[in-house]
Structure 1
């Protein structure tokens, strides 16, 4: 059983997408970031950066004591290596997949997150910041569109943790003032992932009681 400390954000969705694809047993534990749950000592013991998601794996592959992890990219890599799924065993495709995974955690997520903040949450409008992050968002979508115009999935021929990492951010494209029609390869990719049964189950978790065990 894996405990997933979760809020229904793009980074939170990444982990439920993986867990549903791999059909792992897990329990969602809600972290209400609007109430400051992320600063509670018991959560900080698992996630010292006070951000979701975080996991505790009660059945690690080495059979030892529970393993806790924070940072969504690290969690995806850990789970892929533990299960042997959603990360190619081909050295070349594996490296390509990791390249796009790190692109997401180092660029797509942070920049789109700033887009969300300055468009929806900043206490006052900051035109320079709004424009800066909108332009960068468009640039990143262009990079993504170019890749997906030449490959069915970000890592290559197989759906992978790179796609899982990027998809929840693209799924929030309307909040970023992005029209997917302008990025046809991204639109096609987004639609294909949206209709996966595991994606449907994962997104449903945002509307369900997060204390109920799943698996």
Structure 2
């Protein structure tokens, strides 16, 4: 049995979406981040970095969302080619999300919404992370102008990884008006029934 420890964040939504898309039987355990459950056993013992999501597969914990997506796709034999150039392309776009999309958009969200109440706005941080967010959207726009999905013609875990982050653009004060290919991609993925079920499953 697969057990997912997660919360309703873009990183958590990635895995609930993947589980629905792959059709793998699983249980979902919602971690209360506000109460600090991520720092308490048993979660803290299984997840060395004390971050969601965490997957437990037959008593074996797998942490880090990118690693979990690869684990699940390989387990199901779907959404990630088994070998060759095609697999490499998917992993490149997956790691772009892990290394850039998540950290940059996450910082922009924090400086817009998560900083201590009453603190002055950090305009330098907002400008820096806002500029980098737009640059990354430009990378996606260029890629998606002539491709249906990030890795090419096929929907993969690379799309699942980036979708929850990009769909939150309105929370970041970012419009997709200048990125029509990205906007179309978000709309198409958001319309998938398994994606809608995955987003719902991430909610406590």
TM-score, normalised by the number of residues in structure 1: 0.91
- Structure 1 position 128 matched with structure 2 position 124: yes
- Structure 1 position 115 matched with structure 2 position 126: no
1:56 alignment counterpart: 56
Alignment RMSD: 1.1
The answer to whether the 8 Å contact 1:88/1:158 transfers is: no
- Structure 1 position 12 matched with structure 2 position 8: no
CA apart distance, 1:159:
0.3
Superposed structure 1 runs of 4+ greater than 4 Å apart: none
1:213 alignment counterpart: none
Q: What per-residue deviation string (whole Å, max 9, x for no partner) do you get for residues 4-52 of structure 1? A: 0010000000001110001111111011001100000211111110100
CA apart distance, 1:67:
1.7
CA apart distance, 1:90:
5.8
2:24 alignment counterpart: 24
5+ unaligned residues in a row in structure 2: which ranges? Answer: none
Instruction: For 1:203 and 1:76, locate their aligned partners in 2 and report how far apart those are by CA, in whole Å.
Output: 16
5+ unaligned residues in a row in structure 1: which ranges? Answer: 59-65, 211-215
Q: What per-residue deviation string (whole Å, max 9, x for no partner) do you get for residues 121-167 of structure 1? A: 11221111111100011111111111111211111111000000000
Instruction: For 1:110 and 1:150, locate their aligned partners in 2 and report how far apart those are by CA, in whole Å.
Output: 27
| Paired positions, count | 201
CA apart distance, 1:177:
1.2
1:37 alignment counterpart: 37
Instruction: For 2:187 and 2:77, locate their aligned partners in 1 and report how far apart those are by CA, in whole Å.
Output: 26
